[in-house]
């Protein structure tokens, strides 16, 4: 397995993709101003989604070529992690877009701050992991220029590290999706409680009780 090429693939096409997707979606919805502008944004978003699909197909073609060249094994841990990662990207892109589309301006600002904070942590973690894997591979190929049993064992250890890097990218996307969903659920609960309390105040029972000078707190229990 050509782990150097796999390393470049992970560093170039996998780690940064969550930033591109979430960042672009945040940009779309922060620009919303009016209905006419929204229509333009929808067109741009559709074009962006088409680009993501094109990138996905290009990425798959690159993987197939690497498999054909025996640079990566189809049933390897890395391939399984990449397949799971791609499913996550597809699912979370839609889910995150739906959440952002239903957020008000204040909530989108909170969402942006949350992403920026988690991105700093994620980037530091992934960069350190990539640097470690790259250094280890260089040492392996320097010490074992030809294929040996010892080299294969050491390569397997690096493959597990690459697998962890891919899984970290997968978890990052799912974490952002879950955080956005929690934001929306929290707002919805507050809205529902506000409407419930408001309906109690305007209900006929409350009005009648108030006219009689009763204790309002009893009706709110």
Could you give the CA distance from residue 64 to residue 68 in angstroms, rounded to a whole number? 6
**Residue 59 belongs to some domain of the structure:** yes
- Reported as a single tens digit per residue, the pLDDT across 34-62 is 555 667 777 777 887 788 788 878 888 88
Supply the pLDDT for residue 34.
Answer: 54
Domain that holds residue 46: 3-215
DSSP alpha helices (H): ranges in 69-202? 77-101, 105-143, 149-201
Region of poorest pLDDT, from 1-5, 24-28, 52-56, 211-215: 211-215
CA distances from 19 to 118, 129, 172, 182 (A): 11, 18, 10, 20
Does residue 101 sit within a domain? Answer: yes
Instruction: Quote the number of domains for the chain.
Output: 1
Residue 204 lies in a domain: yes
Residue 221 lies in a domain: no
Q: Are 158 and 137 in contact (CB under 8 A)?
A: yes
**SS3 assignment, position 76:** coil
CB of 158 closer than 8 Å to CB of 134: no
Whether 45 is in a domain gets the answer yes
pLDDT in tens, 47-105: 877 887 888 788 888 888 888 887 778 778 888 898 899 889 889 988 998 888 888 88
């Amino acid at each position: 397995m050509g782990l150097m090429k796999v390393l470049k693939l992970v560093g170039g096409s996998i780690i940064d993709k969550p930033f591109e997707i979430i960042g672009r979606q945040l940009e779309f919805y922060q620009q919303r101003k009016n209905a006419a502008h929204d229509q333009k944004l929808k067109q741009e978003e559709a074009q962006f989604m088409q680009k993501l699909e094109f990138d996905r197909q290009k990425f798959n073609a690159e993987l197939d070529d690497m498999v054909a060249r025996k640079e990566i094994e189809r049933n390897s841990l890395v391939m399984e992690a990449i397949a799971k990662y791609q499913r996550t990207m597809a699912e979370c892109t839609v889910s995150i877009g739906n959440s952002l589309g239903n957020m008000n301006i204040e909530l989108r600002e909170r969402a942006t701050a949350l992403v920026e904070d988690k991105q700093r942590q994620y980037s530091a973690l992934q960069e350190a992991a990539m640097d470690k894997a790259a250094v280890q591979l260089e040492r392996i190929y320097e010490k074992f220029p030809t294929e040996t049993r010892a080299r294969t064992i050491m390569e397997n250890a690096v493959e597990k590290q690459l697998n962890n890097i891919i899984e970290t990218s997968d978890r990052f996307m799912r974490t952002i999706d879950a955080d956005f969903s929690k934001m929306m659920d929290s707002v919805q609960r507050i809205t529902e409680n506000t409407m419930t309390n408001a309906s109690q105040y305007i209900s006929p029972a409350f009005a009648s009780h108030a006219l009689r000078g009763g204790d309002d707190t009893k009706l709110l229990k």
